[in-house]
Amino acid sequence: VWCWRDIAFTRPEWVGRVDEPKQIVDGCIREHIKLLMGYWGNSKADRTRLYEAKRPLHFAISLISEPCFYPRLPELINEIHNRGMTTFLVTNATLPEMLERLIKNPPTQLYITLP
């Protein structure tokens, strides 16, 4: 086990359909904006900052399981970069073939967890 996160629900390979990179980025931004909605009702919230926050600048690719299982990871990183955002990929590097594919489309930052 390399990661501090609960891996009880993860699998050692990609399972299920493969979403389009554009669909993933659009969905993440849409959900990010939903998370901000409650702040608009707070009179102490800085409106300028709220408007700025609606456009994310950084995109973390990590959390549960191994993100390098996603077969379209280079395209996802490219989609994010084309929108002017940075990428931060967290991997345990158990899929070196994907890391090799990322040489042409590298993330802004790469974090490799070690045992």
* Six-digit token string for 96: 């070196």
What CATH number is associated with residue 56?
3.40.50
Query: Is position 100 within any domain?
Result: yes
Write out pLDDT tens, residues 50-92.
Answer: 999 999 999 999 866 789 999 999 999 999 999 999 999 999 8
- Is residue 61 within 8 A of residue 87, CB to CB? The reply is yes
List pLDDT tens digits, range 5-60: 555 655 666 778 899 999 999 999 999 999 999 899 999 999 999 999 999 999 99
**109: its two tokens:** 């930052």
Would 14 be classed as within a structural domain? no
Residue 13 lies in a domain: no
Q: What is the pTM of this model?
A: 0.84
Q: What's the number of domains the chain is made of?
A: 1
Residue 7 lies in a domain: no
- Is residue 55 assigned to a domain? yes
Overall size of the chain counted in residues: 115
Domain assignment present for 4: no
Does residue 11 belong to any structural domain of this protein? no
For residue 100, the enclosing domain spans 21-112
- How many Cβ atoms are within 10 Å of 98's Cβ, its own excluded? 19
